[in-house]
Every structure is written in C-alpha cells, then in structure tokens.
Homo-oligomer: A and B are copies of this chain.
C-alpha cells in the first residue's frame, strides 16, 4: 500500500545517530537498563526532539510481548459483560496495558477460533469469560499464554488464575428467597451452554430445588435480547405459567420484563422475576429487579491483578472466589 507518508517516523537508528550511540544502547536507555543515568537523559532528549517513539509492532516481534491483554467475552451483547469489558479496559489502562476485546457471541466454535487468534496476536495474557469452560483447548492455550477465567473455572487447571463465582451460594440465595416468599413453580432461564449440559451450577440448581421442594423448569435462553424476549414470551404465554422466573443474568431478566409488558402481565403481581448480576439498569426498572449482586468492581480488579501478575512472569496461580449478595428490590411478590 503506497499511502502517502508525510514524513516517516523516526527510527531507533536515527536516535542512535543523533546521540552518537549504538541502536542497542538507545534501546536499553529508553527502557532504563544497563546504561548510565547520563546517557539515559541524553537519549531521552534526542528522542523527544526527533519525536521518536518505539514502534510497538517491531517491539512485539523482537521481544514477543505486546503489552496487550486479550479479553474474550462469551456474549458481549449481555449488558453485564459490557460493563465488565469497560471496567477491565479501564483497569488495564492504569497498568499501562490495554485490552483487545473479542466477542464469541455465544458460539463455542467461534470462541475457539478467537482464543487462538488472541494467542497469535501475542497478547501477554488473556481474560476469558468462557462460553464453554470444558473445552480442552484452554489447557493447551494456557501453556503458551497466561489465561485468567472469570465466572466458571476452566476444566483444565493450567490457567494462571481464576475469579470464580460462588454459584452454589448464589443459587441458594436466590432460590431460598423465592421459596420464602411462597413461590414454588419456578422457571430457571440459563444462558445456552452447549458442551456441558451438566455443568456444576446447573446441577446445583436442581439439587437445591429438590432440597427446597421447588418445582423447577430449566429453560435455555438464547443469545441476544430479541431472542431472549421470544423465549420469555413463549414461557409466559404457555398454559402453565410459572409463578416466578429466575434468570441467570440480569440481561435475561430484561427480556422477561419485555415479554411480560407485551403480554400485559404485571410484575410482580402476575409474575415474579429474579436476576443474577446487578447491572446498573436493574435499579431503574419498574419495579426494580431483585437480583444477586456480584461486586463487579471486585471482579474486575481481581482479574486484572491476576492477569497482570502472570503477564509479568509472576506465577502465583490463584483462585479467587466471589461471594454473592442478595439485592432486594421490587420484582418478587411475597405470597405470604
């Protein structure tokens, strides 16, 4: 491509020439290694005058590091994951890194492709919110680049760390809350997770339902708000409408609100709704969404800390467990 180049960027060799040093010395100086304070200063000056700034691509090729952290989201359409991405992007900036954000759009095949792509891009580390935590690819990947998982733990234990949600606790919290208010017929809307129908959280849902004597129907919520709304519509207009819908993400709950409004059903009088993230918008709905809060700031900080440490070569693999908290607003009716 012969794009007109006004004046070519200064290279390290020009700086070397200007200072009478070797390129190697300049390279070291700019990173503050192995050279005297005096030359460091001299190089800085010259670089500033020439408007020199190291080319990140060349640097990446030579050193194998890019300063980028890959963020692979399972479903970026979900507002909570958007919040997470924004938060992570911001937190990384404070560490002089930045995020390469990719979106698997709920598709495990795409997730695999994108994960490899990130590795090829030489990200220094990656944070993933896996669609398919059981894929064996994660293990291979983790041998090349530090991987930090958010949400579910990856099946393969070679990761650099994970920020795991205590879903058992979260589920218990939500289901007990619903039972205490007299709900028994409950629809559980979970995001579609292709590979593992028997993932721990789902198992725990049925186990807890048994324990609490609840009558549960698990429904797969597809990807994207319109599709979720369709699913919810079918659910609410069915012959045997459940008393409450427990949604495995606030975003899914928004689809239920929409479907309820369309069907002329009142929340919570006709149907109770419970969420699972606590997204900022949940408090603005009418009624406010009662949900399980996951301290997004804490998650962001933990994930960024883990991945940054791993990217810097520190190896302390850690599993950080997030405890949920019930956030009561008005979307669940008390039948007692």
**Could you list which residues of chain A lie within 8 angstroms of chain B, going by C-beta atoms?**
1, 3-6, 53, 55-58, 60-61, 64-66, 76-77, 79, 82, 86, 89-90, 98-103, 105, 117, 120-122, 140, 143-145, 225, 254, 257-258, 261, 280-281, 283-286, 313
- Give A1 Cβ to nearest chain B Cβ, in Å: 6
Q: Does A101 lie within 8 Å of B103, measured CB to CB?
A: no
Q: Which residue of B lies closest to A124 (CB)?
A: B1
Task: Tell me the number of copies of this protein.
Answer: 2
User: Contacts of A89 on B, CB cut-off 8 Å?
Assistant: 76, 101-103
In whole angstroms, how far apart are the Cα atoms of A143 and B77 in the complex? Answer: 34
Q: Does A3 lie within 8 Å of B144, measured CB to CB?
A: yes
Q: Does B286 lie within 8 Å of A144, measured CB to CB?
A: no
The 4 A-B pairs at the shortest CB distance, nearest first, are namely A286-B286, A82-B82, A57-B60, A57-B61
In whole angstroms, how far apart are the Cα atoms of A3 and B64 in the complex? Answer: 10
- Give A114 Cβ to nearest chain B Cβ, in Å: 9
In whole angstroms, how far apart are the Cα atoms of A285 and B64 in the complex? Answer: 49
User: Contacts of A55 on B, CB cut-off 8 Å?
Assistant: 120
- Give A7 Cβ to nearest chain B Cβ, in Å: 10
- Give A288 Cβ to nearest chain B Cβ, in Å: 9
